Structure 1
Amino acid sequence: MDRSVGQHNDQEQIEADAAKWVIRLGGEPLSARERAEFDRWRAQSPAHARAFAFASATWSDLAELRHDPGALARDVAPAGRWPRRAPAGGGRAWLRAGIVSLALALGLVPVAGLTAFWYGDPMVMLAADYRTGPGERRNISLPDGSTMELSSASAATLHFSASERRVELLQGAAYFTAAPLGTGETRPFVVAGADGTATALGTQFLVDRSSDAVVVTVAEHEVRVALAGTDNDARSVVLSPGQSVRYTSGAGLDAVREADVEQASAWRRGRIVFDQVPLSDVVAELNRYRRGRIVITDAALADRKVSGVFETADLDRALETIARELHARTASVPPLVTLLY
């Protein structure tokens, strides 16, 4: 056999294995044996590490379809059928959109298995102690007696020590009921997210982490929200019940706002509530609760405001209602992408 052919086949196998690991990380958490197997595979050679990094980044690019549909938005057939050929000059945007069929192209999973896809960073899955899939909620009892209720498509990890009870929210949203300080518990209860922390001065509060911001909302007692690495009063705030604050990595703390706690925690009752919310934010929230991606193809449409109460168990109907109210249309590539235009 020609040596170059053999090397090409070896590289193809490494890339196929990398894709398998990325897809596997979207399923149930790895067992200790599987984690060790994955670590050994990735450490075999620089080519293995590069292939996994590329597959992970490509997979994560799927999330960009919500904001930048690129060639997919321009070239989807009027009847909503997947185009059979890449358009001339489609370039990287088309290739990124086309990666949704990666598993099929490599023969890794059957068509039915596509509904198990998780569109996000596989490295989050490696770090998570607890997580939920789209449309799933989970109640978790923590070692100190506190509870954490994870919303849909959320992930968290624990860092309990002798000095503090720290939970890091890696993505999504969670409702915390912190076991109070007392004779048997002197460690503060802290929830970290991005570049900030929320320290319980009472019991119940919510933390919602999106791709670019974190929002903390207090249901009972008080919570101190601070930017990481400082106790400066200008970079921290104490929230009372019915208040919320938003912070971002670049801009810091926003102003404290009055919050509707029932609306913010509606997901705990299987509902999503919107009150004059831009469609772009509505779609970002709906994408947490369903398989596949909703993509808005028109900037003006993305700015339109939406109000309503929707059941998380029937988001197809919610999308139909929203499209009808906004006089928009949809085109689907089940179960991967739904265009809203």
Structure 2
Amino acid sequence: MSQHPPDRSTPARRSRPDASMSLLTNVTEHSLDDGYAESAARREAGGTTGLPKSLRARLGLAAGLALVAAVVTVGAAQARVEAPVRAKEREGLIQRIQDGTDRTDGLESTVEALRREVGEKQQEALRRHGGGRGELTSLLAGATPVSGPGVKFVVDDAGPADGGTGGPRGSSSFSDSGRVRDRDMQRVVNGLWGAGAEAVSVNGQRLTSVSAIRRAGEAILVDNRPLAPPYTVLAVGDGKRLSSEFRSSADGAYLAVLEKNYGIRVSVSVQEKVELPAAPSLIIRIAEPLGADGAGKSAGATEDTGKGIS
């Protein structure tokens, strides 16, 4: 009988179904890095777990934690107690501000009412004691509103240059040549008076023979009222004649230089009708009652009815 040599070949191993996913399997089975585990073991073996070992140290730690908890508790309780007090103080302060605002508004209303009353009495005095020149005196003094044909000037600061802002030199300073100044507006207004304007206003502010155009900081003031550009100047009179005579005057040439050399923006248009309000306040500086023979000076804002802005 023939004998077959024993089979010494290694039996084939059965492969795992997740053999191709060894990386994910390793991550799943060893979610905690071995290095962290070894480090924790070394600290435990060396007795450096971070917690105090002696009774005194433990008592000190407990006392510190208790102190922190007490401080937090007291702070929270104090904040809770003070919250209503602060809220009440805040409400009281808001109420005081509102009361002050109401009082201020009431005083302003009273002042405006008194100004209107004084103005009405002054106008009545002009009509009653001004003789035949009462209406003319009232008109020259700016005590009555005026409407009629005229001219409209709009003067504004220079526009942005090279994409910048604040005038041709990129500055917001009042001294910048690209900004309209008080003396520029003085020249415009006086030029219109010289051209024959019967009445003039700037941004709704009626000008009289005692009006003043001044500078205060970065603002232009007309009779102590700040104005903002653009500055709109309205003048009553023959619009075409006013425009022509103004442009041919020295003040018109001055304005043209500002427009050409410094970029000041100016537009002039003849209007069929412009409306100017009365002057906000009229001050009678010289007034004498008429005598029995009708002699005496007529009441007016000034003895001299000549015009001029300074």
Q: Which has the higher strand share?
A: 1
Q: Which has the higher contact order (CA 8 A, sep 6+)?
A: 2
* TM-score normalised by the chain length of structure 2: 0.22
TM-score, normalising length: structure 1: 0.20
